[in-house]
Amino acid sequence: MTTPADARYAIYFVPAAQTNLYRFGCSIVGYDSYSGGDVDLLDGFDQEFANWREITDEPRRYGFHATLKAPFRLPPSTSEAALTDAFNKFAKRGHPMAHIEPVITVLGDFIAIVPRNPTPALDALANQCTTSFDVFRAPMTAKERARRTASYLSPSQLQNLDRWGYPFVFEDFRFHMTLTGPQPEAARVHIIAMLRRAFERMCGEGKIAVDGLALVKQPDEQARFRVLCHAELSP
């Protein structure tokens, strides 16, 4: 049986379930984090890439999203109910609406939707999520820290990891909505071209409004993340 210590939570931007953006994202990664079920891949991807399920295996675990507060376990001093209450109050606090002009590109060695230009309101929202929900974060285990430090981290990222449990916050934060796992350089151009055509077909060329937050839960290490509750951001 799953115990509270097994579960992890996170604060994500997950587009509303009825939007074209969300339908695009979940049909790319093959998973709907609202329902918790698999979904059919977007037409053409499984024919063009016989291994598309493998290409998207890593983002499928998390669902289509952008991280604003990275996954964390709860300390014994708090509860899921308290976290949920704080989440809903945070969403109602009042936040400037952030809009991004989306670009599908390589980020590191994977492919993601990122903003074309800096977005201060979005950075501020991520900063507030990092600090406001840290009281609900249990300290990292030695195993968790070792996994993070296995990859190269800059001095500031290492400081972030030890203070906030995640390297990529504040100046090291970059908003992104992951579409694939790590890809060899030779395959990226073709994958990006397919994704851009599909995105334009389904979502057009408009900006993305970051207008809501999702509290997500992973019951145990083998499970996928699922939306526990979703809240619109009050301006």
Q: What is the CATH number of the domain that holds 177?
A: 3.90.1140.10
State the total domains in the chain.
1
pLDDT confidence tier of residue 146, bands split at 50, 70 and 90: very high
Question: Average pLDDT, stretch 203-207?
Answer: 91
Asked if pLDDT for residue 32 goes beyond 50, the answer is: yes
Burial 29-39 (b: 16+ CB within 10 A, else e): bbbbbbeeeee
Q: What is the pTM of this model?
A: 0.93
Question: By the 8 A CB rule, do 69 and 133 touch?
Answer: yes
Give pLDDT, residue 55: 94
Q: Is the pLDDT confidence value at 135 over 70?
A: yes
> Which residues have CB under 8 Å from 12's CB, separation 6+?
63, 65, 66, 67, 68, 213, 214, 216, 225
> Between 213 and 235, where is the model more confident?
213
Q: Is residue 211's pLDDT more than 60?
A: yes
Which residues make beta-bridge pairs with 103?
Answer: 114
What is the average per-residue pLDDT within 205-217? 95
pLDDT in tens, 151-197: 889 999 999 999 999 999 999 999 999 999 999 999 999 999 999 99
The reported pLDDT for the residue numbered 1 is 38
Query: 175: buried, middle or exposed (CB in 10 Å: 19+, 13-18, 0-12)?
Result: buried
Question: Which pairs count as long-range contacts for 85-92, CB under 8 Å and 24+ apart, including other chains?
Answer: 86/132, 86/133, 86/136, 87/11, 87/133, 87/213, 87/215, 87/229, 87/231, 88/229, 88/231, 90/128, 90/129, 90/132, 90/133, 90/213, 91/212, 91/213, 91/231, 91/232, 91/233, 91/234, 92/231, 92/234
Rounded Cα distance between 117 and 140, Å, is: 33
The whole-number pLDDT of residue 57 equals 95
Q: Which residues pair with 178 in a beta bridge?
A: 112
Q: Which domain holds residue 75?
A: 4-232
pLDDT at residue number 4: 57
Nearest residue to 209 (alpha-carbon basis) of 127, 88, 102: 102
Report yes or no: 194 and 183 within 8 Å, Cβ to Cβ: no
pLDDT score for 3: 46
pLDDT in tens, 71-117: 999 999 999 999 999 999 999 998 988 999 999 999 999 999 999 99
pLDDT of residue 2: 42
The single residue listed with the structure tokens 């708090």 is 78
